[in-house]
Structure 1
Amino acid sequence: MPRLFTGIEIPAEIALALSSFRGGLPGARWVDPENYHITLRFIGDIDERMADDVCSALGDARRRGPLTLTLDGLDSFGGSKPRAVFARTSGNGELSELQAEQERLMRQVGLAPETRRFTPHVTLARLKHASPVDVADYIATRGHFPRLTFTARRFVLYSSRASVGGGPYVIEAAYPLG
């Protein structure tokens, strides 16, 4: 299997609303709306045997109910060397619990711990040589971000091919929430 990660899909109507923020930022490579998602756990490049173990472990995940999620603003990663612009997901303890459970399950099958802090978000653009001033201006001029709320009824195991800018992503397996 190629590179794997788990995530929450973004419904088409939310993706359409997010796509209206595309453009107007020099150095941005915009993510295609059909590839919008909230990453829960990056797994990486693994062999078929480990992929089978991952699928099995995810199938054993506790069945919680659907999650109501809200995107409530724009932000960026990278500070003085911005690398991405994203839609922020407001605090959701249930989403953090789901991510923590997946982290625990991935460690049980032998994967190394994730070193990055979980920051739930939807990446809108990846940045290369973008000025921090341009990024700040971009975010400031789009200050009226509508609260976008949706219900996630499942999480999925995605695969991706090595490419510039991510995607296309393929759903390898889906796991219901509830």
Structure 2
Amino acid sequence: MFIALRPPPPIREILFDLMDGVSAARWQDDEQLHLTLRFVGEVERPQAEDLAVALGHVHLPAAPIVTLAGVGSFGQRGRVDTLWAGVAPAAVLADLHARVERACAQAGLPPERRRYHPHVTVARLARSAGAGPEPGEWLARHAALASEPFALPHLILYRSHLARGGAAYETVARWPLGTGATAAGSHGYDI
């Protein structure tokens, strides 16, 4: 399971326009484009239900308004394994991440140890591809990525299913963020 925000269709179209130029990349499909707030992992049903209840109490004064801002990569030992689009401003997302982290703690999950870095993954690379020149060329070509501001109006709890073609994501629950949001959204989960 993981907790994320979903960019609106026009932003996902911008992200699709980035998806070329790295031959060994596994580009994300529409269903996979999201901004992760917290990876949860495998949990038993009672803890998943506790998490859903705790997430139903996460509220903000307004839905986060953000922009796409540049691109980057993650990797190890000089090998790129992930290409991503950045999301800014980081402060509003860091605040939401902290609120989600508190909800996870209430559900008994261990704290996240990695530093939070807001991004939308656009590709995963095979081991052989990450050391070649294509990822660097892709990063240079899309370095100036920017978008108009857009809202992220819902907090979403996803379940991931691994398949041959990659991960498939299923929405377990969705809660509105911002003014007028209520805990009633927490009752719409299917764990």
TM over 0.5, shorter chain: yes
Deviation at 1:133, TM superposition (A): 3.0
Cα deviation digits, residues 113-143 of structure 1 (max 9, x gap)? 1121111100000011222532111111234
Alpha carbons 1:15, 1:34 under 8 Å: kept: no
Alpha carbons 2:83, 2:123 under 8 Å: kept: yes
Match of 2:124 in 1: 126
**For 1:121 and 1:76, how far apart are their aligned partners in 2?**
10
Deviation at 1:74, TM superposition (A): 1.2
Deviation at 1:48, TM superposition (A): 0.7
- What secondary structure sits across from 1:137 in the alignment? helix
1:15 corresponds to which of 12, 17, 21: 12
**Structure-to-structure mapping, 1:126-165, within 5 angstroms:** 126-129=124-127, 130-131=130-131, 133-163=133-163
Q: TM-score, normalised by structure 1?
A: 0.90
Please tell me whether residue 117 in structure 1 is matched to residue 115 in structure 2.
yes
Unaligned 5+ segments in structure 2 are 179-191
**For 1:154 and 1:142, how far apart are their aligned partners in 2?**
28
Cα deviation digits, residues 5-44 of structure 1 (max 9, x gap)? 1110111111111101112113211110232000001111
Match of 1:93 in 2: 91
Unaligned 5+ segments in structure 1 are none
Query: What code does the residue aligned with 2:59 have?
Result: R
C-alpha RMSD over aligned residues:
1.7
Match of 1:67 in 2: 64
Inter-CA distance 112–10: structure 2 relative to 1 (3 Å threshold):
same
Identity %, equivalent residues: 34
**For 1:140 and 1:53, how far apart are their aligned partners in 2?**
44
Match of 1:49 in 2: 46
Match of 2:185 in 1: none
Deviation at 1:166, TM superposition (A): 4.7
Query: What code does the residue aligned with 2:67 have?
Result: T
Please tell me whether residue 177 in structure 1 is matched to residue 177 in structure 2.
yes
